[in-house]
Amino acid sequence: MPSNKVVIEADQIVTMDASCPRAEALLVEDDRIVCVGTRSEVEAAAGDDAQWFALGDVCVLPGLIEPHTHPDLCAQCYSWVDVSGFTHKNVEGVEQTLREAVGSREPGEWVFAFGLDAMLTEDIGTWGRDRLDEIAPENPIAVMIQSMHTVFVNSLAFELAGIDESTPDPPGGGRYQRDANGRLTGKLEEAAAALPVLLFDAPQEAELRARMWAQYERYARAGLTTIGIPGLFTPISMLGIFEGFSNREDVPIRTVAYMRHHQVDHTDWKPGDGNERFRVQGVKLWYDGSPYSGTMLLDEPYVESRLCCCTLGIPAGTTGHANFTPEELVDVASRLHREGWQVLTHAQGDRGTREILDLYEKALASHPRTDHRWRLEHCALISKSDLERAQRLGVTPSFHVNHVYYYGPELRDDIIGEERAGRLMPIGSAVEAGHRVSLHADSPMYPPDPFRLMRTAVTRRARNGEKIAPGEAIDVEQALRAVTIDAAWQLFAENEIGSLSPGKFADFTIVDANPLAIDPDDLDRIAVLETWLGGRRVSHGTAATG
């Protein structure tokens, strides 16, 4: 019988365990770590029948964790026509790509495209119904922007979806934008408004499973061994697919899932249900929207700029809006708390985060319980006083930090202004207030790339090299905690993953450089060599990034 003991030896092993921060080797038996320490200590514990992997000049890290990503939405959007700013630097390329896609379809066949980007693509101009009618006169077409909160459609798409000038805005924050004469412009804001269109892209289950598995492999190539899925964009039956993946011997990642609040009454899943590789943990709420759709809820209006008012279509004087009133959600949140669900809420703006904390405070007071770890998701703008209040309430933030990298200059100059941009993504203030923070890329918005997240959090550099809100920087070790042990803590998984400690699962990420020992500006150049899950190698190589 082959030995079930494996020894991993490397020049650098960073454990994220304060009792043994650095090690020379670690011993794995079955799927757990049983010993971490010097080579001689591990050799003595291993005995004569262990299989040795002497990896040499590499760095072994705990398996990296992203607590906020959407494999189901990735599976959909990444199968569409790519019009992203990552691959299209000018608008002529976007239009050519769309025309080629239309030309390859039969009349009447749908065309879906993803990634329209007013910040990364030059001279993108104004988009809407009339422009898309010209590009696709005989095909219904839907084009989603990179931030996912806006979809542009043409007249045929409206007709097939049953939406016309008399159709009321749907509940849940969705809006069909109309011009001064009441005519639909073709801009759909938020998921509730886009859903009637997106339902026309419904793959068969076999195709959906294949797309989803491809996303699991993509995460593993990026160095991730655990993901959190905050809110399903697919039917509740998707939980069964995730559970089925977890039972496969070759599954490359662990999954922690969160339902939408309206799905709780339509399933038998309860908090904590699942297995060692898949667990249902909580419920996701969406309170406000996106800076790039004008739906992020602010105290003061968006900047009146050409980008805002013309290209993004955000009317002057707009402060965004909430998808619900806090009063509408108090009973829902209180019930979820009583039933033991962990609650996550998408909140971006300063007013949005404040109002959600007001809601949380009422709901948590209705059934006091310690260590609930409710979360605030994204936190583009949140005041120091609200970060301190969140800490007192036991509410923890996860930061969508690469807004700083990809769109920082535009946010500062054209969307929220210099003063508010000076406190954009206040991770440093959160750490100072005592929070255990996490970082996320929110794929498909940005590619999964934990080291790019770390670099941005530490250097605060935007894509053009400028620093945005440099006073909110954290150090490299804090950033590494945010993608390992502190992210595990936010998922209620810190006793199982997040550090290389005896008793925990043998999940680790092998990279070509120690992030704690290089220039922080080079963090995004770290290459992922392998990922291991439960003592088993599951992936080679670094995922391509945008």
What digits encode the pLDDT tens for the residues 176-232? Answer: 999 999 999 999 999 899 999 999 998 888 898 999 999 999 999 999 999 999 988
- Both 287 and 395 in one domain: the answer is yes
Whether residues 345 and 385 share a domain: the answer is yes
CA 496 to chain centre: 22
Tell me the chain's radius of gyration from C-alpha atoms. Answer: 23
Query: Is 420 among the domain residues?
Result: yes
Is pLDDT of 266 > 50? yes
Q: How confident is the model at residue 2 (pLDDT cuts 50, 70, 90)?
A: low
Clarify whether residues 465 and 412 are in a common domain.
yes
* Distance in angstroms between the alpha carbons of the first and the last residue of the chain: 45
Dihedral angle sign, alpha carbons of residues 237, 448, 294, 99: negative
Q: Which two tokens stand for residue 382?
A: 């949140």
Task: Return d(Cα 350, Cα 320) in angstroms, integer.
Answer: 11
CA nearest neighbour of 199 among 239, 259, 262, 153? 153
pLDDT tens, position by position, 91-148: 999 999 999 999 999 999 999 999 999 999 999 999 999 999 999 999 999 999 999 9
For residue 368, what are the domain limits?
66-70+212-498
According to the model, what pLDDT value does residue 541 have? Answer: 65
Whether residue 205 lies inside any domain: the answer is no
412 in a structural domain: yes
Residue 268 placed within a domain:
yes
Assigned domain for 504 exists: no
Mean pLDDT of the 23-35 span: 97
Q: Work out the average pLDDT over 380-400.
A: 98
H helix intervals, 233-345: 238-246, 306, 326-338
The reply to whether 251 falls in a domain is: yes
Q: Checking phi first, is residue 535 left (phi over 0); if not, alpha (psi -120 to 50) or beta?
A: left
> How many Å apart are CA 355 and CA 74, to the nearest integer?
30
Q: Is residue 544 scored above 50 in pLDDT?
A: no
Helix (H, G, I), strand (E, B) or coil at 43: helix
Is 475 found in the same domain as 391?
yes
Q: Residue 527 corresponds to which amino acid? A: A
Least confident of 189-203, 377-391, 422-436: 189-203
Task: Give 542's pLDDT tier (boundaries 50, 70, 90).
Answer: low
Does 422 share its domain with 332? yes
Distance CA 134, CA 36 (A): 64
Q: Are residues 326 and 472 in the same domain?
A: yes
Residue 326, pLDDT > 90, answer: no
191 and 216 fall within a common domain? no
**CB neighbour list of residue 208: distance below 8 Å, 6 or more residues apart:** 75, 234, 241
Contact 431, 437 (CB under 8 A): yes
What is residue 545's predicted lDDT score, i.e. its pLDDT? Answer: 34
The predicted model gives 485-504 an average pLDDT of 98
Q: What is the pLDDT of residue 173?
A: 85
pLDDT above 70 for 77: yes
Whole-number pLDDT of residue 205: 84
Indicate if 107 and 46 belong to the same structural domain: no
Q: pLDDT over 90 for what percent of the chain?
A: 89
| Rounded Cα gap, residues 326 and 360, in angstroms | 9
- What pTM did the predictor assign? 0.94
The reply to whether 281 and 407 lie within a common domain is: yes
Considering the domain architecture, whether residues 351 and 485 belong to the same structural domain is answered as yes
Mean pLDDT of the chain: 95
Question: What is the arithmetic mean of pLDDT over 148-174?
Answer: 94
Is 60 exceeded by the pLDDT of residue 16? Answer: yes
Enumerate long-range contacts of 183-187, CB under 8 Å, 24 or more apart.
184/129, 184/158, 185/128, 185/129, 185/313, 186/127, 186/128, 186/129, 186/130, 186/131, 186/132, 186/152, 186/153, 186/154, 186/158, 187/127, 187/128, 187/150, 187/151, 187/152, 187/313
Answer whether 68's CB lies under 8 Å from 230's CB.
Answer: yes
| Pair 257, 185 in one domain | no
Select, from the ranges 45-59, 180-194, 494-508, the one with the highest average predicted confidence (pLDDT).
Answer: 494-508
Does 186 lie in the same domain as 164? Answer: yes
Domain count, the chain: 3
